[in-house]
Amino acid sequence: METLIVLNMLVYLAGLAGNVFGGISFEQLTNWMMLSRGDFHFWNLITYQFAHSPSDIFHLLFNMVGLWIFGTSLEDRLGHASMLAFYLIGGSVAGVAHMLETSAPVIGASGSVCALIGGFIALFPRSRIRILLLFLIIGVFEVGSLWVVGFYVLIDFVGWVAPSGSSTAYVAHISGYLYGFILAMLMLSIGILKSDDFDMLFLLRQARRRAAFRSTMRGSTATAWDTPNTAASKKPAVKRVDPKEVIRLQKIAELRGSIMRMIRETRFKEAGRIYRELLALDPLATLNETAQLDLANRLYADGERNIAAAAYERFLESYPRSSQADEIRLMLALMFTRELDRPEEARTLLADALPSIKSDSHRTLARTLLDELGHPDTESRP
């Protein structure tokens, strides 16, 4: 994230330096980097995202603020490389959309930042954004992200459908929003990103469950997506939604939300207590990767061995390819061997972890545990 911001600023400073000290002027640099239908080069799909107007430093500053606010959260969820690809491809999509609409050249990171905003809304729709107001009322206020983003999307849409001679690339902004939102939702839907209690996919599923519950309570066979007319025209379904199951699912959702809130507020003892309730209702319940691991680690540190082991097991089942999976397997094997008397499960974990453990100290510990278990070194097995 910081690298993208620094690169944008360095390009801007390089243009200013060219004007002051000679060499390539800001205008020449911008002309080489900009994206244009009339003078198209493939590399300009990337370079235009790092060029900003020399006469309007606020063009750069506002884009960098947006990149920092929305990009940081996405980077935490996607990882550095995936977030970079998300950003650059989003800017490229926005640039292509702009070229399809007009022959006017375009520069700036606005389309790329709008892609981040679209992804942010898909992944964090219930987040709140702090806004500094300096007009009429002075102060800092927290506003729901959906309201803030919706306001800016509306401005861009009105600017697009009611042209005013502005040089703003409205269609690039709108294309960025759509790209980011659709791609993030797709990644959630097919499991590339693990859905949690705070993303848009979860909210839509919850809305559907609530609608199904209301329908069941009315004795109707309508689904969450039926209109009154289509619902009335349907034949009675053979099987209705079980109200008890709907209530159970709602309770699970409430408990997951409470756990996530407790973790954010570092109230881990309460989170652990609620997690026990959650496992009683759904033994396979898992939080997002970071939250699940944080909770398991804290439970272990507090001496809650059995519930910590359950949390680690859920982590490994849901995130077997995590960069920390082998360390968790080793820790869990240690608990099973020396504290919880579950030797067979410990052997299985060590067999899975040993081939890919790189740390010498960890490999030594794994072999020590195998010796304690009375099992031959896993690596020597055919």
* 3-state DSSP of 186-202: HHHHHCCCCCCCCCHHH
Helix (H) or strand (E) holding 130: strand 128-135
Average pLDDT over every residue of 69-91: 89
Average pLDDT over every residue of 149-177: 86
Residue 136 in this model has a pLDDT that exceeds 70: no
Helix (H) or strand (E) holding 138: strand 137-144
Contacts with 1 (C-beta within 8 Å, 6 or more apart), sequence order: 67, 68, 71, 72, 75, 83
Among left, alpha and beta (phi > 0; psi -120 to 50; other), residue 226 is beta
Average pLDDT over every residue of 107-133: 87
**Alpha carbon distance 292, 319 (integer Å):** 10
- pLDDT digit string (tens) for 183-204? 999 999 998 887 776 788 888 8
Average pLDDT over every residue of 226-232: 48
Residue 121 in this model has a pLDDT that exceeds 80: yes
- What pTM, to 2 d.p., does this model score? 0.62
Please state, as a whole number, how many other Cβ atoms lie within 10 Å of the Cβ of residue 333. Answer: 27
- pLDDT digit string (tens) for 37-50? 988 999 999 999 99
pLDDT of residue 236: 47
Task: Assign 134 a pLDDT band (cuts: 50, 70, 90).
Answer: low
Task: Assign 231 a pLDDT band (cuts: 50, 70, 90).
Answer: very low
**Alpha carbon distance 80, 256 (integer Å):** 27
**Residues for the chain: how many in total?**
382
Round the average pLDDT of the chain to a whole number and report it. 83
Task: Assign 85 a pLDDT band (cuts: 50, 70, 90).
Answer: very high
| Residue with tokens 């067999």, as numbered in its chain | 351
Average pLDDT over every residue of 308-319: 90
pLDDT of residue 180: 96
Contacts with 36 (C-beta within 8 Å, 6 or more apart), sequence order: 44, 99, 103, 104, 105, 106
Domains and CATH numbers, the chain: 2-190 (1.20.1540.10), 195-322 (1.25.40), 324-382 (no CATH)
pLDDT of residue 260: 82
Average pLDDT over every residue of 353-357: 87
Most confidently modeled range among 45-59, 220-234, 253-267: 45-59
pLDDT of residue 381: 43
| Residue with tokens 């107001």, as numbered in its chain | 133
> Looking at per-residue confidence, does 221 or 350 come out higher?
350
